[in-house]
């Protein structure tokens, strides 16, 4: 059995949570493979809103096992608080003992201090400590969740790290805890999390070998990938489909169907290039109609029109078999809707994604708008103009559409 995958195609916040929740009803195992609690998935079920940050969206399916893989950076405090929302997680949630920890507050404080020092050149991070956590992992000064099995040893190692880097912490105005304070906090984490830690790599292998249906869930979006996104205005992990192999211990042959998630328009949180951003009233209207405020931070998202150039690039790099179009209902009521079909760069028309997006001008195609798609659950029920828009997106992105969301509710979904 191969593992199917959900991957974000834009700058994150595409609505992956709803699709994972919907699809998880048909899977035995749902796995998260990268990111941290900077990401957030909002899911609406029967009018109830759920906000998830670390736990896979499959947790809302009582029959599914949920895995947090080694590629995720875990803030123990954040995970414990999120776990408190649910009952009877034993036997349903499994966390990799190789996942790296965001230790206490020092990663968060470093993140916030560095972002402040960047001033006008700030990246626009969530300030949750994700970058410094991945930085510690890469420079081999980080610690894994499995080390909570010996909190004495872990606390001593942390005190040594603080002493060795005293100049940095003093310069940033960060007060580090002493051994006893560290030990006490780590003991609390160990008590809460050790029952859920396991070798998730072998666990997922076993599930695949037993022909169980496995769904892989990423965080953020392709354009925020540290290698293939709009660097340096990116996250600190590989958000593309290939990142699932590293973040869970799978090989490329283990990957089955890849579904790319996109909004019917575009949004972005934080700083960095955004070619189709609309600075006028239509951008404001998209934000308000789409409730475009971050699940994790509450920050207002920048809004604009669908970028077919970026989507085509992202679909190819992820190997998407199909696309799920989210929030089509947010475009209800616009007289016309725009799609970016190419860029103008130095007076030339460009249909591929350039490295430098700061100086590109979007070339738009305008299509007729429609009144409302809310509640449509069959393609034939959609207004003709909405059908035309979707068919045009298929042509421009080179990828077929397999699913269309017509409202936040789980059931208002067209499956083609």
- As given in the structure block, the two tokens for residue 61 are 């399916």
The mean per-residue pLDDT over the stretch 142-150 comes to: 96
- As given in the structure block, the two tokens for residue 92 are 């349903």
- Give the pLDDT band of residue 352 (cuts 50, 70, 90): very high
Residue 135 has pLDDT above 80, yes or no: no
- As given in the structure block, the two tokens for residue 255 are 């990957």
Residue 108 has pLDDT above 90, yes or no: no
Residue 33 has pLDDT above 90, yes or no: yes
Q: What is the pLDDT of residues 380-408, one digit of tens each?
A: 999 999 999 999 999 999 999 999 999 98
Beta bridge partners of 336: 368
| Pairing of the two strands 306-307 and 322-326 | unpaired
Count of C-beta atoms within a 10 Å radius of residue 87: 6
The CATH number of the structural domain formed by 100-195 is 1.10.300.10
The upper half-sphere exposure of residue 173, i.e. CA atoms within 13 Å in the direction of its Cβ, equals: 6
Residue 117 has pLDDT above 60, yes or no: no
Residue 124 has pLDDT above 60, yes or no: no
The mean per-residue pLDDT over the stretch 149-171 comes to: 90
Count of C-beta atoms within a 10 Å radius of residue 121: 9
Q: Write down the mean pLDDT value for the chain.
A: 91
**Between 22 and 297, residue with greater pLDDT:** 22
Instruction: Specify the pLDDT at position 116.
Output: 62
Q: Rounded to whole angstroms, how far apart are CA atoms 35 and 26?
A: 24
Instruction: Specify the pLDDT at position 307.
Output: 98
**Torsion from C-alpha of 318, 377, 282, 388, nearest 10 degrees:** 70
The mean per-residue pLDDT over the stretch 332-336 comes to: 97
Are the C-beta atoms of residues 189 and 145 closer than 8 Å to each other? no
Q: Could you tell me the residue ranges of all domains in the chain?
A: 3-77+200-415, 100-195
Instruction: Tell me the three state secondary structure of residue 167.
Output: helix
DSSP element (H, E) containing 4:
strand 3-8
Q: Which residues are marked as active site?
A: 13, 41
Instruction: Specify the pLDDT at position 123.
Output: 58
Residue 61 has pLDDT above 90, yes or no: no
Alpha helices in 122-165 (DSSP H): 130-138, 151-164
The mean per-residue pLDDT over the stretch 85-91 comes to: 88
Percent of the chain with pLDDT over 70: 91
Q: What is the pLDDT of residues 369-378, one digit of tens each?
A: 999 999 899 9
Instruction: Specify the pLDDT at position 324.
Output: 97
Instruction: Specify the pLDDT at position 165.
Output: 82
**CA distances for 71 relative to 134, 195, 285, angstroms:** 10, 20, 37
Measured on CA atoms in the order 160, 162, 163, 167, is the torsion positive or negative?
A: positive
Instruction: Specify the pLDDT at position 57.
Output: 83
Q: What is the pLDDT of residues 241-277, one digit of tens each?
A: 999 999 999 999 999 999 999 999 999 988 899 999 9
Q: What is the DSSP string of 312-366?
A: HHHHHHHT-SEEEEE-GGGGTT-SEEEEEEEEEETTEEE-S--S--TT-EEEEEE
Instruction: Specify the pLDDT at position 413.
Output: 93
Instruction: Specify the pLDDT at position 85.
Output: 83
- Give the pLDDT band of residue 22 (cuts 50, 70, 90): confident
Residue 127 has pLDDT above 70, yes or no: no
The set of residues, in sequence order, having a beta carbon less than 8 Å from that of 297 and lying 6+ positions away, is: 126, 269
Short-list 407, 355, 335, CA closest to 377: 407
Instruction: Specify the pLDDT at position 113.
Output: 60
Instruction: Specify the pLDDT at position 58.
Output: 86
Q: What is the DSSP string of 22-86?
A: HHHTT-SEEEE-SB-TT--EEEEETTEEEEESSS-GGGGSTT-EEEE-TTBEE-HHHHHHHHTTS
Listed in order, strand segments (DSSP E) in 161-265 are: 197-198, 214-217, 255-263
Instruction: Specify the pLDDT at position 120.
Output: 64
Instruction: Tell me the three state secondary structure of residue 178.
Output: coil
**CA distances for 21 relative to 1, 33, 185, 222, 381, angstroms:** 21, 16, 33, 20, 24
Tell me if the domain spanning 3-77+200-415 has CATH number 3.90.170.10. yes
**What DSSP state is assigned to residue 307?**
E
Instruction: Specify the pLDDT at position 387.
Output: 98
Q: What is the pLDDT of residues 190-208, one digit of tens each?
A: 999 999 999 999 999 999 9
Instruction: Specify the pLDDT at position 134.
Output: 81
The mean per-residue pLDDT over the stretch 124-152 comes to: 82
């Amino acid at each position: 059995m191969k593992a199917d995958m959900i991957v974000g195609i834009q700058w994150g916040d595409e609505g992956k949570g709803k699709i994972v929740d919907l699809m998880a009803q048909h899977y035995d195992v749902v796995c998260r493979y990268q990111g941290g609690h900077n990401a957030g998935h909002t899911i609406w079920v029967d009018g109830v809103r759920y906000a998830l940050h670390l736990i896979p969206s499959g947790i809302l399916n009582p029959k599914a096992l949920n895995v947090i893989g080694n590629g995720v950076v875990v803030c123990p405090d954040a995970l414990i608080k999120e776990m408190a929302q649910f009952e009877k997680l034993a036997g349903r949630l499994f966390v990799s003992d190789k996942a790296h920890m965001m230790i206490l507050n020092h990663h968060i404080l470093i993140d916030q201090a560095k972002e402040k020092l960047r001033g006008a050149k700030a990246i626009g991070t969530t300030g949750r400590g994700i970058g410094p956590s991945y930085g510690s992992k890469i420079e081999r000064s980080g610690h894994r969740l499995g080390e909570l099995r010996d909190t004495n040893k872990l606390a001593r190692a942390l005190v040594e790290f603080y002493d060795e880097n005293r100049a940095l912490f003093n310069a940033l105005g960060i007060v580090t805890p002493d051994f006893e304070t560290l030990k006490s906090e780590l003991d609390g984490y160990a008590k809460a999390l050790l029952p859920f830690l396991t070798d998730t790599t072998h666990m997922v292998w076993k599930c695949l070998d037993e022909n169980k249906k496995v769904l892989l869930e990423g965080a953020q979006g392709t354009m925020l990938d540290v290698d293939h996104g709009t660097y340096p205005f990116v996250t600190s992990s590989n958000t593309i489909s290939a990142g699932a192999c590293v973040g869970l211990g799978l090989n490329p042959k283990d990957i089955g169907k890849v579904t790319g998630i996109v909004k019917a328009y575009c949004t972005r949180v934080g700083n960095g290039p955004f070619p189709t951003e609309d600075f006028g009233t239509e951008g404001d209207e998209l934000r308000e109609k789409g409730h475009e405020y971050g699940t994790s931070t509450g920050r207002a998202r920048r809004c604009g029109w669908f970028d077919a150039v970026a989507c085509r690039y992202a679909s190819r790099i992820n190997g998407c078999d199909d696309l799920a179009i989210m929030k089509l209902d947010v475009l209800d009521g616009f007289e016309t809707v725009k799609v970016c079909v190419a860029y103008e760069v130095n007076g030339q028309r460009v249909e591929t994604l350039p490295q430098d997006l700061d100086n590109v001008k979007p070339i738009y195609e305008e299509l007729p708008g429609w009144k409302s798609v809310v509640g449509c659950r069959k393609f034939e029920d959609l207004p003709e103009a909405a059908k035309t828009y979707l068919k045009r997106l298929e042509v421009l992105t080179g990828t077929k559409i397999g699913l269309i969301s017509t409202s936040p509710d789980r059931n208002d979904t067209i499956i083609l």
